[in-house]
């Protein structure tokens, strides 16, 4: 299926991805990982939840860690442009017969909870509590110096259909991988905020969250994180990288949190705000697609992901084979 043309006039205006809520089985261990190792800042915590923000963010949180009996993802949050967009979003999802619910969320104004057609729990809002800027409080920088949440990447059992649905909402494809044999889309990267992506879909058993990514200042910060993790007991949490992506051209590292949730550390992609940006197409058989430097990803990277609460997974019928490290 061809990549749909960008929808320049979506039914409601999504500014950017905003936050993710992870169920974690050991809140203290997760706190250590996200705060002491990655360097996110605690904005609120109690016995069951920790709210975190990154260094240049002024919204109250980009990650919520919630003590749970199982690891999972409660929702992916997106910030809308302005108040009228809330009702428009509700109308869009109701028009698709998707569940729509108005909820109260701590530190946030009115929020809409819904699911995409495959069950991914989505949350939309306009107002989140604002905090003072800390981007120049250099004493606070720690770990990998995470600056902001950058994107979500999801396993999808039907990437073509996911691209079509999210495309209706105004996400625009910047790069994609095509399976030469079937002509179907293996993976796609889609943005709202002007970088390579806010969301991405990768063929596989889905829906599952493949990873959440954070933007950092330079590749040297990623090297610092590797040095830190490998000498503080987290060497087993290093999954893939560092390296330079073919797709996106970003410098990356993938790590796994104490529950196995995958986090990507990411920098140096490119500006995509032009409405007429032409998506870059890659072939699934291109060995430089995932890592420009050639090293294939490990099997775990292709197979493991985080389950969304309340969303049953389904296998993909697209059986093409990516290049996997032995």
Contact footprint for a second copy (CB under 8 A): 8, 15-16, 56, 58-59, 79, 81-82, 126-127, 130, 133, 135-139, 147-148, 193-194, 217-220, 223-224, 226-232, 235-236, 238, 242, 244, 246, 249, 251, 268, 270-271, 273-278, 280, 287-288, 292-294, 325-326
Minimum Å gap between C-beta 215 and a second copy is 8
Q: Which is nearer to a second copy, 184 or 192 (CB)?
A: 192
Of 317, 321, 324, 325, which is closest to residue 160 (Cα–Cα)? Answer: 317
Minimum Å gap between C-beta 267 and a second copy is 9
**Sign of torsion over alpha carbons 146, 135, 52, 202:** negative
Q: Which is nearer to a second copy, 66 or 244 (CB)?
A: 244
- Rounded Cα distance between 239 and 220, Å, is 18
Helix, strand, coil % in the chain, rounded to nearest 5:
15, 35, 45
- How far does CA 276 lie from the centroid of its chain? 24
**DSSP for 28-47?**
HHHHIIIIIII--EEEEE-S
Phi/psi for 40 (5° steps) reads -75, 160
Q: Which is nearer to a second copy, 54 or 73 (CB)?
A: 54
Q: Which is nearer to a second copy, 67 or 142 (CB)?
A: 142
Six-digit token string for 228: 């830190």
- How far does CA 188 lie from the centroid of its chain? 13
The region that residue 246 occupies, defined by phi over 0 for left and psi between -120 and 50 for alpha, beta otherwise, is: alpha
Minimum Å gap between C-beta 29 and a second copy is 17
Contacts of 161 (CB under 8 A, 6+ apart): 117
Q: Which is nearer to a second copy, 231 or 321 (CB)?
A: 231
**Sign of torsion over alpha carbons 320, 322, 323, 326:** negative
Q: Which is nearer to a second copy, 97 or 136 (CB)?
A: 136
Minimum Å gap between C-beta 74 and a second copy is 23
Minimum Å gap between C-beta 180 and a second copy is 20
Minimum Å gap between C-beta 30 and a second copy is 18
- Rounded Cα distance between 160 and 144, Å, is 34
Q: Which is nearer to a second copy, 119 or 217 (CB)?
A: 217
Minimum Å gap between C-beta 166 and a second copy is 18
């Amino acid at each position: 299926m061809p990549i749909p043309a960008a929808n320049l006039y979506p039914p409601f205006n999504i500014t950017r991805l905003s936050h993710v809520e992870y169920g974690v089985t050991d809140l203290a261990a997760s706190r250590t990982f996200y705060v002491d190792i990655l360097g996110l800042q605690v904005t609120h915590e109690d016995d069951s939840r920790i709210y975190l923000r990154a260094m240049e963010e002024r919204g109250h949180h980009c990650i919520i860690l919630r003590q749970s009996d199982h690891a999972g993802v409660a929702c992916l949050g997106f910030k809308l442009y302005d108040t009228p967009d809330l009702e428009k979003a509700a109308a869009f999802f109701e028009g698709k017969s998707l569940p729509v619910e108005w909820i109260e969320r701590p530190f946030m104004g009115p929020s809409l909870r819904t699911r995409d057609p495959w069950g991914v729990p989505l949350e939309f809002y306009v107002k989140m509590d604002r905090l003072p800027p800390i981007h120049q409080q250099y004493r606070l920088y720690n770990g990998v110096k995470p600056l902001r949440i950058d994107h979500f990447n999801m396993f999808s059992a039907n990437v073509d259909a996911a691209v079509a649905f999210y495309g209706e909402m105004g996400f625009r494809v910047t790069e994609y991988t095509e399976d030469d044999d079937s002509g179907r889309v293996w993976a796609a990267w889609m943005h709202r905020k002007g970088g390579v992506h806010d969301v991405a879909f990768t063929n596989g058993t889905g829906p599952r969250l493949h990873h959440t990514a954070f933007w950092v200042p330079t590749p040297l910060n990623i090297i610092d994180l590797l040095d830190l993790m490998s000498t503080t007991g987290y060497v087993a949490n290093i999954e893939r990288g560092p390296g330079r992506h073919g797709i996106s051209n970003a410098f990356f590292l993938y790590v796994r949190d104490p529950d196995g949730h995958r986090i990507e550390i990411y920098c140096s992609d490119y500006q995509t705000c032009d409405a007429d940006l032409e998506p870059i197409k890659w072939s699934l058989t291109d060995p430089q697609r995932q890592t420009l430097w050639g090293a294939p990803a490990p099997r775990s990277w292709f197979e493991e992901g985080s389950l969304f609460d309340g969303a049953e997974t389904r296998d993909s019928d697209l059986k093409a084979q990516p290049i996997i490290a032995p």
